[in-house]
Chain A
Amino acid sequence: MSTPRPTSMRQALDWADRASMQLLMGAGMALLSYVFIGVLIFTAVASVIVIGLGVLPETVLMLRRMAGFKRRQVGRWSGTAIPEAYTPLTGTLVERVRKAVKDPGTYRDLRWLFVHIVYGLALLYVALPLWVIGVLVDGVWCGLLGRRAVVLPLLGRLADLDTRWSRALLKPSPEAERNAELAERVEELTVTRAGAVAAHGAELRRIERDLHDGTQARLVALSMRVGLARRAYDKDVTDPEAIRRLLADAQGQAEEALTELRHVVRGIHPPILTDRGLVGAVRALAASSGLEVAVRDDGVEDGPRAPAAVEAAAYFVVAEALTNAAKHSGARRATVELTRRAAGLRISVRDEGRGGADESGGSGLLGMRRRVAALDGTMDVASPTGGPTEIGVELPCVW
């Protein structure tokens, strides 16, 4: 709270003007608070007869809004706003009422509200005669004689007082501040966890469908053919050719089922990830891509491995990107970079092709983006016409 010393009469007047606006707003808020007491009484009565309990959280929110306005106003005058820390009023009505009642911020705000009615108005009452005296005294002293103003700056002092008292009353306790931070973090985690659970659910349904429609159906068909062959064998072996055909069919079905199972397994978690880890698996991808691929590993292979879901997504991204590069870009060379960061895994795939990769063009980009988003990751694609194409993916994880 530093009040610069006004030197000229003009400056002194400007300064006093600003301070007075501040005090006037304070007094206005005090009057509003006075009216708000009516709302408080109504809420109290409504809450006592239980039916009106629903108004309570709304009243507390209004109170918070008023306190918030004062906090910002103090910030405008002094340069530093008063920090705010409330328990968010979320959940069912009962929870919201409970949170509103339990939040110590509610009582701090109430205390401020009543005290502020007094000092908000009182400061303005002091300021009014100061103006009259100030204009008379400083008009002569500063305006005519060129000395330093003495009375008008006192208005600034009054605004400083308002700031100091408001700060003392509205500043949240350190504990409340920490609680509010934690509450915010919990809120955030709840949202991301819900997203992760949904993504996991979708993945499970996809696997279930693949197994149900593909493998299971094939095994049923296979079992049927073996059954038919047995029946034919038991009843009459006059047509060995028919039995042979049924058995050949059955074997064909078994092979198809195995092929489908392999695809499903690859989709869940590519086996080479288990065998060789992410870097080894990416090197294998690079070797079979048909391109000359340089794989750079920045600390991923050493130290703990990323969670399986992250590794699988990273593998999927690199596989898709290299397939696109080999198929569409016309590039002969590509670079894959895997970087260990404190907050997660960074993957970058760059080819020296003709660029112009289009996300809406049915390329694998959309699938990549979905898979990355399911893990709360981000994906950037830069592919100007003429190349090069660079795909950067960040997957957050705890190593």
Chain B
Amino acid sequence: MSDQIKQATQEYATRLGDDSVVLGHRISEWVSYGPFLEEDIAYGNVALDYIGRARMFYTYAAELADDGRDEDDFAYMRNDREYRNLLLMELPKGDFAYSQVRQLFADVYYTLMLPELLQSKDETLSAIAAKAIKETKYHLRRSRDWVLRLGDGTDESHQRAQKAVDQLWGYTHELFDMDETEQLLADAGIGVDVAGLRDRWLEMISAILTEATLTVPEDSWAVRGGRIGYHTENLGHMLTEMQIVHRSHPGCKW
């Protein structure tokens, strides 16, 4: 592995780890607030899948960085400006419809992205994708069911689901952005060319939203910046809560 590729792969694994840990944490915020017990447990399960994924990506990033840091340092010892997650993942959990619509957007994205990552020439990234694909199938079935149920439900649930779709739409464009690092890796057969996934994503999302009697928004605005460390103010607050125990008790073991 050349130094340039190695460095880019480390950055890439960190980005994917950041996406997973931030979304995983947001989902975990529902635990004990779920509308009923089984749904509460489902949230816990999905959060755990994402946090586990983050751990695998970070472990790999730490191995490539080879500077004495471990996966916990990646998760707990970096500030918001050092995080490289997509903005969609960091938005506060909102109401139940908002979280399920965000989840649907993410689940369809991973449904398309992970099979490509599975083809990666990088064995570790491919192995992580192989595990995650199986889990994402279950995630998508759940978020799809909920969006159908909420969209095609009562006036109240429909209105809330539509509002969530409209509010989140502008954050979905960033999912398909490529920069130099990701282009380098895509060309090398290591990373995924996410720009090529948007048409299929749009097709799948449109079909589900339409079935749910929801309107697919026009593309009118877009927010970007997560991949260069420009975040919404929400991430800082989230990390404060997520990192405080680790930072208050450095090196603590039990």
A and B: interacting chains: no
Chain A interface residues (CB < 8 Å from chain B)? none
